[in-house]
Amino acid sequence: MDYLTVKEAGEKWGITGRMVTHYCVAGRINGAVKKGNLWLVPVNADKPVDGRRKKNEKRGAV
């Protein structure tokens, strides 16, 4: 199986590497493995949904 680093996965998904690490630690990326102090994300893994917002919520709405 091919893997991406946290940085590469973040660039692919348009988020920071720190957020990818958070998803790995929380177990939200299926197949992610930790080798030493490095997280490896499967190439075919899907980006987890950001649970901080509701799906239909609009930004800046008053």
Which tens digit of pLDDT belongs to each residue from 7-46? Answer: 999 999 999 999 999 999 999 999 999 999 999 999 999 9
From first CA to last CA, the distance across the chain in angstroms is 47
Question: What are the CA-CA distances from residue 20 to residues 30, 48, 57, 61 (Å)?
Answer: 12, 9, 23, 28
Q: Is 23 helix (H, G, I), strand (E, B) or coil?
A: helix
Q: Identify the sign of the CA torsion 13, 29, 41, 23.
A: positive
Q: Which among 41, 2, 45, 35 is positioned nearest to 21, based on CA atoms? A: 41
pTM: 0.80
- Give the model's confidence band at 52: pLDDT under 50 very low, under 70 low, under 90 confident, else very high: confident
